[in-house]
Structure 1
């Protein structure tokens, strides 16, 4: 029987994604005992209307080192996937200067600097702030 060693980067990326998903959802760790207070604290702004011109540099597939990837469409919708599992899906919201934040649960977090990407000046790579991983634009 052969045992395949897993990449430390892969495991670290998954752990970071899981921690991010759990902490970004607005949970306070008490199992929803104060649902009213938590719901009020996590109310998000509506997602702004995005034009195709604003997200044009982001459109396409971006492949990461842990066999995960982002894919964005011309309307700004996108997803972060690993294999058949979707880790995030929603809207890319342009901030300017090659930065895009991501919607969360149908709303705009506005202040979630860790939940978005920054495009490199050459437009061929981006860095996901949630894991600080670099993703390369896939060739068509």
Structure 2
């Protein structure tokens, strides 16, 4: 029982840290473009974002819904956003690492190494796990309207 309580406390601390970091480093660049939160990499360590092939991010494309009123949404060009309660916590590019893992860009650059700012997909691409909080997300089903 103590182990379960400790795990819950650690998960809550990780989530609080990620959410706190989500508010740091944000703002607007001189050209008016929004900056995203820091995953902990120094600007000097950032490289250019590699070209993203739609086939490499195809399993990631769509909306992934969590249980904390949050979601990730990704498009075929690799761009993505993480939103909680209407607030954008991260936006940028999901960079394929292979094996169903993607690291997230930061301030328009590539941290070049795996970090807790990334996600991994389950073997059958039915679940997404965000490394920052170890929370699991499920893919939202698109509903087709009448027409």
TM range (shorter): 0.7 to 0.9
CA contact (8 A) 2:15 2:132 kept: no
1:113 CA displacement? 2.1
CA contact (8 A) 2:95 2:104 kept: yes
Q: 5+ residue gaps in structure 1?
A: 1-7, 27-40
CA contact (8 A) 2:39 2:115 kept: no
> After the TM superposition, which parts of structure 1 deviate over 4 Å for at least 4 consecutive aligned residues?
none
Q: 2:133 aligns with which of 116, 131, 134?
A: 131
Q: Distance in 2 between matches of 1:56 and 1:139?
A: 15
CA contact (8 A) 1:20 1:130 kept: no
Q: 1:24 aligns with which of 39, 42, 48?
A: 39
**For the aligned residues, what is the CA RMSD?**
2.2
1:102 CA displacement? 0.5
User: Which residue of structure 1 lines up, in the alignment, with residue 118 of structure 2?
Assistant: 116
Q: Distance in 1 between matches of 2:106 and 2:43?
A: 10
| Number of aligned residues | 118
CA contact (8 A) 1:71 1:78 kept: yes
CA contact (8 A) 2:65 2:72 kept: yes
Cα gap change, 1:60 to 1:96, in 2 (>3 Å): same
Q: Distance in 1 between matches of 2:136 and 2:15?
A: 15
User: Which residue of structure 2 lines up, in the alignment, with residue 37 of structure 1?
Assistant: none
Q: Secondary structure at the match of 1:24?
A: coil
Q: 2:63 aligns with which of 61, 64, 78?
A: 61
Q: 5+ residue gaps in structure 2?
A: 1-7, 25-37, 143-147
**TM-score, with normalisation over the residues of structure 2?**
0.72
User: Which residue of structure 2 lines up, in the alignment, with residue 75 of structure 1?
Assistant: 77
CA contact (8 A) 1:100 1:118 kept: yes
Q: Distance in 2 between matches of 1:47 and 1:105?
A: 10
